């Protein structure tokens, strides 16, 4: 039956314009992924299952759950499904999917056309809606405007979040009864970053994380729709005590190389982390940086700050120049850095190289000096997610000030430069494989935000200074040389 439904999924998906898919933020779940998600459920002591599928699409996830029930693996005496879908075309296909099961004894389904957010808020506010025992979902992925009706509705029930997928997750949690189970496939972006912190706090307060699954490549979970997004399958159980967490991986949705490990919860959410970032460790080697006892300092303890580059080019467009000229100062973009080499000015490209320094722009500029910079955008497939470089004042002779564009993160001391050795040492440390592996545990999207860099722990100023002095003496700083030196910190 699932094969027939999946064939229909491919046919329906091929008939939907990519622009429409993007506008709706909805991509249908392949059968193998749906089957894996359904395999994560247990009966939970319930004789009757009341299953919720918000944003059901054509019903692939519901069908996978029903098929598992029919196989006898889930021994519910009765199963009732409530499925929400907004799109009229999908509603027709969802009805057709449920027709496959219409003659089953002890099964009934209710298909609800309409906006799940609006319906769920009404259920939470005005009825006893928290009676679902299980929920399975592939929610839409789309930003919520701060002034939108959805944002106002969510705030009425105490939910503060910035995307439809996290809104669906939060509302589903509210609609589950105690011990209710939820399995969702969602973007991993909620695991870190300041915008999702209220949602993480909401989730961790109400439910225990039981299982997380990662695909090795970002384009495998929804490869039929060419979706380039790192997706996470997560199982939550409402209102139970948090225990150990199973973390599994596979290269793709064939699950042929499936592997799993068990982790203490303090390896998933660090007890001292005020941001409540959710780490997804995939191998024991990713804990090595935490094992280095000398790596224990916060940036505040080091009197170092990290900020997003303050120059937003489209807001200061009238002051930007392709070539340096009288009255201008260097403006640095990510493309000006290649490792520790600075190529400035970089003429003939799409980016400007200078910004006029005057009373209007001066507040966005930093004094010329030594800085460590990290580019904000990278991808999971790159060799390193954190790519650090050193800004050297001698590269800009005669310039008293510098502009850092918004796609760079800048390490500084109260908007002034760092000691040369410290800047070099920071770059060394951040470019190590150990830091990169640790960073991948909690960052699943393409941005490296200043907040993410503040979460990291660092060596002392003395060690950073020693690393920086050592680095300038090396004939070549290969990855192997850097990693060997950073691992050697364990001997200190």
The pLDDT tens digits of the residues spanning 259-279 come to 999 999 998 998 888 889 999
Asked whether the CA dihedral 328, 332, 338, 339 is positive or negative, the reply is positive
* pLDDT at site 194: 86
Q: Cα separations (Å) of 211 from 140, 150, 181, 214, 281?
A: 21, 29, 11, 10, 12
pLDDT at 242 over 50: yes
Asked whether the CA dihedral 32, 35, 36, 37 is positive or negative, the reply is positive
Question: Mean per-residue pLDDT for 440-447?
Answer: 71
Tokens of 50: 């009341």
β strands within 292-369, DSSP E:
305-308, 320-321, 328-332, 337-338, 341-342, 354-356, 366-367
* pLDDT at site 23: 47
Q: Residue 63 and residue 99: Cα distance in Å, rounded?
A: 11
Domain ranges of the chain: 2-282, 305-491
The percent of residues in the chain predicted with pLDDT above 70, rounded, is 87
CATH 3.90.220 fits 305-491, yes or no: yes
Look-up: residue for tokens 């999946």?
6
The percent of residues in the chain predicted with pLDDT above 90, rounded, is 68
pLDDT band for 29, please (50, 70, 90 cuts): confident
Topology of domain 2-282, CATH? Rossmann fold (3.40.50)
Asked if omega into 128 is within 30° of 0 (cis), the reply is: no
Q: Residue 8 and residue 134: Cα distance in Å, rounded?
A: 25
Judged by average pLDDT, the poorest of 8-17, 297-306, 429-438 is 8-17
pLDDT at 380 over 70: no
Average pLDDT, the chain: 88
Q: Residue 64 and residue 58: Cα distance in Å, rounded?
A: 12
Q: Residue 154 and residue 168: Cα distance in Å, rounded?
A: 10
């Amino acid at each position: 039956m699932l094969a027939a439904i999946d064939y229909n999924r491919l046919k329906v998906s091929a008939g939907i314009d990519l622009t429409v898919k993007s506008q709706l933020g909805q991509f249908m779940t392949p059968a193998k992924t749906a089957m894996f998600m359904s395999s994560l459920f247990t009966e939970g002591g319930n004789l009757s299952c009341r299953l919720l599928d918000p944003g059901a699409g054509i019903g692939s996830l519901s069908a996978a759950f029903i098929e598992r029930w029919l196989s006898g693996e889930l021994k519910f005496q009765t199963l009732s499904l409530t499925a929400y879908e907004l799109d009229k075309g999908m509603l027709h296909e969802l009805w057709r999917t449920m027709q496959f099961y219409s003659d089953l004894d002890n099964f009934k389904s209710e298909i609800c056309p309409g906006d799940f957010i609006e319906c769920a808020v009404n259920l939470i506010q005005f009825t006893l809606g928290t009676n679902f025992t299980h929920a399975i979902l592939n929610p839409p992925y789309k930003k919520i405007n701060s002034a939108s009706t959805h944002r106002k509705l969510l705030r009425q029930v105490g939910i503060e979040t910035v995307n439809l997928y996290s809104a669906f997750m939060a509302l589903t949690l509210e609609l589950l009864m105690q011990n209710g189970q939820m399995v969702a496939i969602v973007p991993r972006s909620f695991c870190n970053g300041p915008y999702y912190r209220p949602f993480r706090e909401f989730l961790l307060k109400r439910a225990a994380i039981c299982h997380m699954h990662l695909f090795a490549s970002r384009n495998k979970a929804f490869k039929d729709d060419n979706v380039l997004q790192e997706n996470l399958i997560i199982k939550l159980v409402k209102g139970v005590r948090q225990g150990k967490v199973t973390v599994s991986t596979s290269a793709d949705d064939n699950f042929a190389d499936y592997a799993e490990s068990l982790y203490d919860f303090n390896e998933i959410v660090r007890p001292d982390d005020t941001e409540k970032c959710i780490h997804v460790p995939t191998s024991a080697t990713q804990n090595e940086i935490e094992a280095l006892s000398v790596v224990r300092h916060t940036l505040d303890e080091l009197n170092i700050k990290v900020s997003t580059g303050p120059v937003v080019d489209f807001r200061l467009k009238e002051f930007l120049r392709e070539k340096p000229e009288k009255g201008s100062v260097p403006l640095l973009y990510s493309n000006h850095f290649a490792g520790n080499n600075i190529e400035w000015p970089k003429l003939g490209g799409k980016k400007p190289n200078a910004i006029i320094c005057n009373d209007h722009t001066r507040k966005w500029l930093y004094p010329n000096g030594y800085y460590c910079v990290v580019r904000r955008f990278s991808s999971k497939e790159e060799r390193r997610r954190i790519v650090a470089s050193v800004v050297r004042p001698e590269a800009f002779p005669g310039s008293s000030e510098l502009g850092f564009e918004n796609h760079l993160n800048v390490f500084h001391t109260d908007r002034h430069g760092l000691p040369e050795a410290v800047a070099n040492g920071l770059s060394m440390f951040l470019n190590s494989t150990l830091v990169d592996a640790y960073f991948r545990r909690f960052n699943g999207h393409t941005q490296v935000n200043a907040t993410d860099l503040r979460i990291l722990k660092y060596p002392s100023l003395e060690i950073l200074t020693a690393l920086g002095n050592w680095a300038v003496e090396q004939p070549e700083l290969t990855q192997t040389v850097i990693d060997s030196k950073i691992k050697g910190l364990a001997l200190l």
